[in-house]
Structure 1
């Protein structure tokens, strides 16, 4: 019997408390079904000199059990906190990772906005600075202010021109709703300045972005989540798509902020008709493939991306955001359980593909060294 492939999943851990435990439990169980020896570990579990790792796997009745595991052939990085210990590990050559380190939203936006393959899909975006709101509001009736290192829809502010006034709405770090109605651009500048100061995460910056009319459903913000992943053959493939619809009057569509999910194709068909809908769907998938291959050119080997795509009321497709460590709950919420299961399996399938490929590349080298 051939030995099992050994796959590690790097994540944050404190005691037996893990980041995103429900997903990681499903990921390990999916890997076990695929025949891998697979486990979770964090930076404090690595014993490099002895080449062994204290890993964790789910217990049948809940919770986790730990033991010593062999050194992983491939590591899937799901660490979502940029602590120094994690950064040092990522910059070392201890492991062979399935996915390369990524960058902050602003640098990613800059790269994509300049690249001929994808720039047509990128809304105008700038680093936040004083007077930037005034210039953007002079060009667009809707502007978004969002953290360059945030997630889950937190601290995003929507600023809309309504007649001679400006309506502001957003959710803070605790998802509390804030609103204001102001009568001048100067008042908006002051209000946004306070928001940025209060909502800043560590040393992160804020971005000011061209707003898009994503009101396909009146009084709601809706966007498309497209999950593109490497498959068992190492090729990019769109796993699935779903639409997230924000609460009435909300500035974002995020599920964490009270949004709900609906299937992608029926909504697009209801908004644009069955003749135009296939074109819009194809463009969303084309965008996903072009962005994934472009970012891989810049950052090295990647494994998956969750793309937030805006389809405006005219059917124009826009890239809002890219997440290299995406969630996949949207598929469970819309009842596409086969897609949800595939979205969980694919990272392990790709890691197994990498492990096999590495072995095949190393085999001739071993033969040469043996003098055969």
Structure 2
């Protein structure tokens, strides 16, 4: 079987704990190796090198894996970890905690079933989906303190839905409810009787088309899933290109939210979205902030962004208590008003180690979920028993560096 006979031995350069299995009773408690964390992911780029490296520094055995890598009857995973600078596949112990980064692995239904199977085998899974964009919008809109920061959004029923929103706002965005990475977004503006001007996240540049043509296309797309119609926003531009701010919030080794960074993203020329996957680029925060109008006596922009995120995170916990790695996309309009564009649990990273917490905090939260408590940042070893703190959830936030 896997891990027997001629299988390569597992070597881990770091400190991994041996301790009583949680819930064990009797005079000879079972022993668990841990924390063991499986990162469910389909890619092996620099972000995951940093996750695995930070895990080792905090005494966590972490590896990457996909559904096909699990050998269920032997409770072994043929995962991938770093060895001499490269990714090596080898057998690993079954994970105690799974960090869900499953974009691009399979359909939503397939991944949901796989995660349920992992839970049935005793794994704790964190950072699962928040549901589609429409569900998340409805959830956030149920919080009075957030409602004023949400652009009006309705579910697309027919072209009459688009026509009504255009008459109200002049510009709207059409978005697939199950979309990600800015794919499939359309900007639609009124352009005269029976015609509209459209631009998309795929084709850079705008064109005028008959309403009937776009209505017919939307009808075909609706057969594959829900679409939303969203109020157009007049966001701050730099060099004529739309910008927004991605704020990254993560839970630490005591399950407390911390804001680990923010990134200003500037759209590619002609694009309607700022996502880096769609050609957007990173802009220094101050280069953006200096273009945002501020009222006399108003708090700095970074402080206002942090306050808004602090109000959003309890709503995230209410819908997904095991969320631990959240990206909040916030637009700032030309009047300085903040708008919540999107909240998701699989935010990308630039792959640069500008702030190590961006990569270390998910591993610290995984330690917490595995029952091993927080690690010492200096040496990657746990504190003495009784010094871990309460582990009580909170929304305490620290000063935000840039990611």
Q: Which TM class, normalised by the smaller chain length?
A: 0.7 to 0.9
Match of 1:120 in 2: 148
After superposition, give the CA deviation of every residue in 1:251-291 in whole Å (9 maximum; x if it has no partner): 11122222211122442134325966734332321222222
2:330 equivalent to 1:344: no
2:36/2:93 contact within 8 Å kept: no
* Offset of residue 178 of structure 1: 5.8
2:187 equivalent to 1:158: yes
* Offset of residue 105 of structure 1: 0.9
Relative to its length, the structure with more helix (as a share) is 1
* Offset of residue 180 of structure 1: 1.6
Of 211, 220, 239, the match for 1:188: 211
Superposition RMSD in Å:
2.8
Normalised to the residue count of structure 2, the TM-score between the two structures is 0.76
2:70/2:77 contact within 8 Å kept: yes
Distance 1:321 1:96 in 2: 26
5+ residue gaps, structure 2: 1-14, 19-32, 375-381, 386-403
Name the CA shift for 1:262/1:218 in 2 (closer, same or farther; >3 Å): closer
Distance 1:145 1:52 in 2: 44
Of 122, 129, 140, the match for 2:169: 140
* Offset of residue 357 of structure 1: 5.5
Of 248, 257, 269, the match for 2:290: 269
Report how many aligned residue pairs link the two structures.
340
* Offset of residue 155 of structure 1: 1.2
Match of 1:370 in 2: none
Match of 2:66 in 1: 42
2:235 equivalent to 1:214: yes
After superposition, give the CA deviation of every residue in 1:62-90 in whole Å (9 maximum; x if it has no partner): 3x222222222221111123355422222
2:40/2:102 contact within 8 Å kept: yes
Name the CA shift for 1:83/1:155 in 2 (closer, same or farther; >3 Å): closer
Structure 1 segments, 4+ long, off by >4 Å, are 162-165, 273-277, 357-360
Alignment of 1:35-74 (within 5 A): 35-62=59-86, 64-74=87-97
Match of 1:368 in 2: none
1:278 counterpart SS class = coil
1:7/1:76 contact within 8 Å kept: no
Alignment of 1:1-372 (within 5 A): 2-3=17-18, 5-12=34-41, 18-19=42-43, 21-62=45-86, 64-80=87-103, 81-82=106-107, 84-92=109-117, 93-94=120-121, 95-130=123-158, 131-161=160-190, 166-171=196-201, 175-177=202-204, 179-182=206-209, 187-188=210-211, 190-194=213-217, 197=220, 203-217=224-238, 219-272=240-293, 278-329=299-350, 332=352, 337-339=353-355, 341-356=356-371
Match of 1:366 in 2: none
* Offset of residue 20 of structure 1: 5.3
After superposition, give the CA deviation of every residue in 1:300-338 in whole Å (9 maximum; x if it has no partner): 221011111110000110101111110021x84xxxx43
1:6/1:71 contact within 8 Å kept: no
Name the CA shift for 1:132/1:85 in 2 (closer, same or farther; >3 Å): closer
Distance 1:240 1:293 in 2: 18
